[in-house]
């Protein structure tokens, strides 16, 4: 796998990211700001499922907000890839980065379980609430691991 | 394409010991002005040192162009060495051709 990361890092795209004055900082700012927006939307859905607030039915909130969350997730991933490419070899070896990727896999799996359970049993369900809670914690953990990359 | 150390140099400021500032004066052997931050390699007291600089945008704004910070030129770097003893420093400022560039 190391060869793949080395090839990415030595690609002309990665060289462009390193050598451009603005691409890297813009990707960095986009990544972080999109994470904030993403978490706000995710937290709204999860807190509704956890019944921290009620009123608008959960399915209505989720139907409106999940597509936005997915678009933001895509923006986060693209900006993240730009940042990753600039120093792929070191990042692929970075413990915090590896934990972050594993946690993202868990978070995506958790979305799948939450989605499916919600569709089958509705929002008055233990597993739905459990996965909503997991979602809140895991996304915050992912953000924390992202910041930890620079310190390990 | 670039020094092996280049990609490893991404870490927090806490890993540098600000209580033990050092000054290195040597010829620039390798230079990379890029993101997430630039670096130069030079030899100091028989060891190869990596000097970590600022991100490219800040370097540009402060006049640290590729023409100024170029291989072969004499560079003075004042900054803080890594706590773990590896020959790497985070530069507080550098001076080339009589021009001092603050990096913080």
Instruction: Spell out a b/e string for A128-148, using b for 16 or more CB atoms within 10 Å of the CB, else e.
Output: bbbbbebbbebbeebbebbeb
Which strand (E) or helix (H) includes residue A70? helix A58-86
Instruction: State the ipTM, two decimals.
Output: 0.77
Select the residue of A87, A151, A152 nearest B36 (Cβ to Cβ).
A87
Q: From CA A47, how far away is CA A50, in angstroms rounded?
A: 5
The answer to whether residue B11 neighbours chain A at the CB level (below 8 Å) is: yes
Contacts of A57 (CB under 8 A, 6+ apart): A123
User: How many Cβ atoms sit within 10 Å of the Cβ of residue B68?
Assistant: 15
Q: What residues of chain A score a pLDDT lower than 70?
A: none
Residue A151 confidence (pLDDT): 87
Q: Is A149 exposed, middle or buried (0-12, 13-18, 19+ CB in 10 A)?
A: buried
Please indicate whether, in this complex, the C-beta atoms of B11 and A152 are within 8 angstroms of each other: yes
Q: Which of A7, A79, A150 to mutate to test the interface with B (most CBs of B within 10 A)?
A: A150
DSSP A91: H
Question: Which tens digits make up the pLDDT trace of B65-88?
Answer: 999 999 999 999 999 999 999 999
What is the pTM assigned to this prediction? 0.87
Please indicate whether, in this complex, the C-beta atoms of A87 and B60 are within 8 angstroms of each other: no
Closest CA to A139 of A99, A107, A110, A93: A107
Closest CA to A5 of A88, A124, A120: A88
Please indicate whether, in this complex, the C-beta atoms of B57 and A90 are within 8 angstroms of each other: no
């Amino acid at each position: 796998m190391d060869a793949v990361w080395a090839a990415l890092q030595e690609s002309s795209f990665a060289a462009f990211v390193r050598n451009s004055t603005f691409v890297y900082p813009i990707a960095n700012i986009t990544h972080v700001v999109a994470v904030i927006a993403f978490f706000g939307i995710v937290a709204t859905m999860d807190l509704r499922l956890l019944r921290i607030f009620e009123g608008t039915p959960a399915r209505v909130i989720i139907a409106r907000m999940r597509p936005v969350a997915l678009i933001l997730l895509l923006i986060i991933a693209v900006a993240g890839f730009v940042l990753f490419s600039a120093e792929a070899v070191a990042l692929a070896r970075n413990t915090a980065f590896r934990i972050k990727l594993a946690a993202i896999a868990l978070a995506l799996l958790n979305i799948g379980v939450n989605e499916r359970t919600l569709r089958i049993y509705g929002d008055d369900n233990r597993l739905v609430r459990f996965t909503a809670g997991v979602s809140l914690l895991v996304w915050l953990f992912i953000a924390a691991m992202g910041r930890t990359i620079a310190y390990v | 394409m670039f020094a092996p150390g280049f990609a490893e140099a991404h870490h927090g400021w806490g890993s540098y010991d600000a209580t033990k500032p050092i000054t290195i004066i040597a010829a620039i052997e390798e230079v990379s002005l890029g993101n997430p931050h630039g670096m130069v390699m030079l030899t100091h007291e028989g060891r190869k040192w990596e000097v970590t600089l600022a991100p490219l945008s800040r370097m540009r704004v402060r006049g640290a162009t590729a023409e100024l910070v170029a291989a072969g030129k004499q560079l003075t770097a004042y900054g803080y060495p890594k706590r773990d003893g590896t020959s790497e420093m985070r530069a507080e400022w550098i001076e080339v051709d009589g021009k001092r560039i603050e990096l913080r």
